Chain A
Amino acid sequence: MSSVSRPGGAAFNAVRLAFAALAVAFLLLPLVAILPLAFTDSVFLVYPISGPSLRWFGALAESQAWTRAIVNSLIIGSGATVVATVVGTLAALGLRRELLPFSGLLRSVFLLPMVVPAVVLGVGMQILYARMGLASSYLGVIIAHAVLCVPFVLVNVASALASIDPALERAAASLGASPVKVFRGVTLPLAMPGILTGAVFAFATSLDEVVITLFVAGPNQTTLARQMFSSLRENISPAIAAAAFIIMILTFALLLAVKGASLLQGLRKKQRVQPSEA
């Protein structure tokens, strides 16, 4: 409304729209470029596509290396998500009231994996794991991924916690809730959307992580992303496009699940409201 009433508002709006369209195109075009290739009939990863076919999905399913990689990604992704969600949520809770000395510094430490080059982290972990006997183990890869994922959980949960009105927790306490009950009954449910979003980010991050995996994972823990990376060097076949498609589907499914859950919750609310209005 206000932009319409401004002089030159229409022109400004057009520019904004064009800019938004460009940004979306920039983000989505790589996907548009690779995904159709998953359905090619040819043995080369090139356009034009020859006839839609599922042969490369079939090839993935038949290849032990690829199926193993998919299973590994699911195992490691789930493990890393659980660890990172728990650690990141606890960290966000601990840093919430800035009660600890140096809580600003501590927060930065938790966020460090987001800015430290993955190569540096990878080398460090490889050395550390060799000493601790964690090299080439699932646990090792899960922990390594979790370290990378914690910042995403921390940031999401912290912002969810920050948006909780402190009066709500005071009210709960004054109404007879012990600190544990305040947490379970008020803080946790109100932070849940942030925790779930953080978990999705964590899973997506683990799914797509290559660099650290190269350093800490053995041949048994080859993940989907890692497998794509190495097969890219060996032979560039459309199987990679098919694998990319699978990663995309996994990520979207997760996002949809979270969205669906919150939608469902909203729907339930509405249903509960209706009887009183009748």
Chain B
Amino acid sequence: MRDLDPFIHFEAISKVFGTVTVVDALDFHVARGEFVSLLGPSGSGKTTLLMMLAGFEAPSGGRIHVDGRRVEHLPPYKREMGVVFQNYALFPHMTIAENVGFPLKMRGVARAEREAKVKRALDLVRLRHLADRRPSQLSGGQQQRIALSRALVYEPKVVLMDEPLSALDKQLREHMQLEIRALHRELGLTVIFVTHDQGEALTMSDRVAVLNRGKIEQFDTPSGLYDRPRTRFVAEFIGETNLLAGRVAQRQGEAATVVLASGGSVTCDRAGPFETDSEVMVSVRPEMLHLVPDAAAPNALPVTVEDHVYHGDHIRLHLAFGESRLVARAGRRDAAPPIGSTAFASFAPGDCALVAP
């Protein structure tokens, strides 16, 4: 359904700096009211993509449509996008109220209406009492909220945020994550949010585009990315995973049997596009791997327990499976098998994904 309303549409969009292709012919769209994160390692092109949408970088190729209009030729001040910068970029020579009122002033909104709107925008982030202060008199979290309220006050079509929370400490960051999500819901905003923190992307977004070297590895819902990674990069970048090298021995409809390089074979319910005989990696999340005493369980791999590490809410078991090392996550009440003992690590055929090696 979302795909029927491509509010923002990137069409074969590229950016080349000198000889380096930083954004490589991307095609994707964002629906109205959607919260989309751009997630990727440093240098993957997230900021560049966002800056092309905001109008600060000209694409080297391709088109950008917003609400059915092409925008590549529009200067930033005509794009009607609220941008929240990493270091907030509040004007130091203006009060908080003047900062928030700035976009309204630029649009020629009359004073009385402006003041009313500024008050409402400040109420949105619960900082009306700071209206007369200067940015330098605010804490990082407060500045962040003012930047947000300034980007929202003129009701822009889209809100773009480039790592807006990266300068905050963990607790404040989590609080702001909830606050931004709540604003997104309340105001029906379309948000594009850049981050290199996968936890942040998973908790906040409707969909996440995982970027790697200027290409989208996978554009999916958070659970889609976590449970059904389509590439090795995504499997490794999102959360933690065990990768088992092998070869597809047989396909049964959607499912496949994979012969593992370390010995034995496993079945996987979602084999994706891989044909018989193709080399693959089986990705299994640590919490999907269970220790069982006998080989009768599905996908049981003979392992030796090498170590267990206490993590408060869970215990991590380090296992040796032939040449490879596996990690399993056990509940704190599960009896941890003694170090050096042998057992079987098992996972359900529905709890794994095949990715290219």
Chain A residues close to B by CB (< 8 Å): 165, 167-168, 170-179, 181, 185-186, 189-190, 269, 272-273, 275-276
Tell me whether A168 and B83 are in contact (CB under 8 A).
no
Nearest-CB distance from A206 to chain B (Å)?
Answer: 29
Interface centre among A167, A176, A189, A190 (most CB of B within 10 A): A176
Knowing A190-B93, A273-B137, the reply to whether A167 touches B87 (Cβ < 8 A) is yes
Residues of the B chain whose Cβ atoms lie less than 8 Å from the Cβ of A185 = 91, 102
By a CB distance below 8 angstroms, the chain B residues around A175 are: 77, 82-83, 102-103, 106, 150-151, 154
Nearest to A275 among chain B residues (CB) is B132
User: Are B89 and A168 in contact, with the CB atoms below 8 A?
Assistant: yes
7 sample A-B contacts, Cβ–Cβ < 8 Å, listed by A number: A168-B89, A170-B85, A172-B91, A173-B75, A175-B82, A181-B106, A273-B132
* The residue from B76, B83, B107, B133 contacting A273, defined by CB atoms under 8 A apart: B133
B249: Cβ under 8 A from any A Cβ: no
CB proximity of A46 to chain B, nearest CB, Å: 53
Known contacts A174-B77, A190-B93, A272-B95: A167-B85 contact under CB 8 Å? yes
In the complex, which residues of chain A have a beta carbon less than 8 angstroms from the beta carbon of B77? 173-179
Which residues on A sit within 8 Å (CB–CB) of B93? 189-190
B interface residues, how many (CB within 8 angstroms)? 33
Chain A residues, Cβ within 8 Å of B272: none
Check A176–B154 contact: CB distance below 8 A: yes
Which partner residue on chain A sits nearest B106 by CB separation? A176
Min CB distance A22 to B, Å, is: 37
Per a CB cutoff under 8 Å, which of B56, B80, B132, B133 touches A170?
B56
Q: Is B157's beta carbon under 8 Å from chain A? A: no
Q: Is B81 an interface residue (CB 8 A)?
A: yes
> Which residues of chain A come closer than 8 Å to B133, judged between CB atoms?
273, 276
Q: When A and B form their complex, which 9 residue pairs have the shortest distance between CB atoms, in order from nearest?
A: A171-B89, A176-B106, A175-B103, A174-B83, A167-B89, A173-B76, A276-B132, A177-B106, A173-B77
Residues of B in contact with A (beta carbons under 8 Å apart): 54-56, 75-77, 79-83, 85-87, 89, 91-93, 95, 102-103, 106-107, 129-134, 137, 150-151, 154
Q: For B131, what are the chain A residues with a Cβ–Cβ distance below 8 Å?
A: 276
In the complex formed, the residue of A with least CB distance to B95 is A272
CB neighbours of B81 from chain A (8 A): 174
B87 touches A165 (CB 8 A): yes
Greatest chain A CB density within 10 A among B103, B106, B107, B134 is at B106
Given A174-B76, A176-B154, A276-B131, CB of A190 within 8 Å of CB of B85:
no
Q: A175 to B86, alpha carbons, bound, how many Å? A: 15
Counting chain A CB atoms within 10 Å of each CB, the highest count among B82, B103, B154 belongs to: B103
Q: Which residues on A sit within 8 Å (CB–CB) of B89?
A: 165, 167-168, 170-171
Smallest Cβ-Cβ distance to B98: which chain A residue: A185
Instruction: Give the residues in chain B near A176, CB-CB below 8 Å.
Output: 77, 80, 103, 106-107, 154
When distances are taken between beta carbons in the complex, the residues of chain B under 8 Å from A178 are 75, 77, 106
Rounded to whole Å, the gap between the CB of A4 and the closest CB of chain B is 30
Across-interface contacts of A189 in B (CB, < 8 A): 93
Q: Which residue of B lies closest to A192 (CB)?
A: B93
What is the CB-to-nearest-CB distance from B54 to chain A, in angstroms, rounded to a whole number?
A: 6
Question: A84 to nearest B CB, angstroms?
Answer: 25
B231 to chain A, nearest CB (A): 33
Give the chain A neighbours of B87 by CB distance below 8 A: 165, 167
CB closest chain-B residue, reference A169: B89
Q: Closest residue of chain A to B84, judged by CB?
A: A171
- In the bound assembly, the distance between CA atoms of A176 and B93 in angstroms comes to 18
Q: In the complex, what residues of B have CB within 8 A of residue A171's CB?
A: 83, 85, 89, 91
Q: Which residue of A lies closest to B81 (CB)?
A: A174
Collect the chain A residues with CB atoms within 8 Å of residue B134's CB: 269, 273
Q: Once the chains are docked, how many angstroms separate the CA of A173 from the CA of B130?
A: 24
Cβ contact within 8 Å between B102 and A170 = no
Instruction: Tell me the bound Cα distance from A275 to B128 in angstroms.
Output: 13
Chain A contacts for B151, CB-based, 8 A: 175
Give the chain B neighbours of A170 by CB distance below 8 A: 56, 76, 83, 85, 89
Bound-state Cα–Cα, A189 to B91, Å: 10
Q: What separation, in Å, do the CA atoms of A269 and B95 have in the docked complex?
A: 9
**A272-B103 CB under 8 A given contacts A165-B89, A170-B89, A173-B77:** no
Q: How far is the CB of B347 from chain A (nearest CB, A)?
A: 47
Q: A276 CA to B122 CA in the complex, in Å?
A: 14
Contact of A276 among B75, B83, B103, B130 (CB under 8 A): B130
Residues of B within 8 A of A276 (CB): 129-133
- List of A residues within 8 angstroms of B54 by Cβ: 174
**Residues of the A chain whose Cβ atoms lie less than 8 Å from the Cβ of B95:** 272
In the complex with contacts A171-B85, A175-B102, A275-B132, A186-B91 CB distance below 8 A: yes
**How far apart sit A189 and B79, CA to CA, in the bound complex (Å)?**
25
Shortest CB distance B233–A (Å): 31
How many whole Å from A174's CB to the nearest CB in chain B? 4
Which chain B residues border A168 with CB–CB below 8 Å? 89, 91-92
Given contacts A170-B83, A175-B103, 6 further A-B contacts (CB under 8 A): A170-B56, A171-B85, A175-B77, A175-B82, A276-B132, A276-B133
A76 to B87: give the CA distance in the assembly, Å: 45
Residues of A within 8 A of B107 (CB): 176
Write the chain A residue with the least CB distance to B108. A176
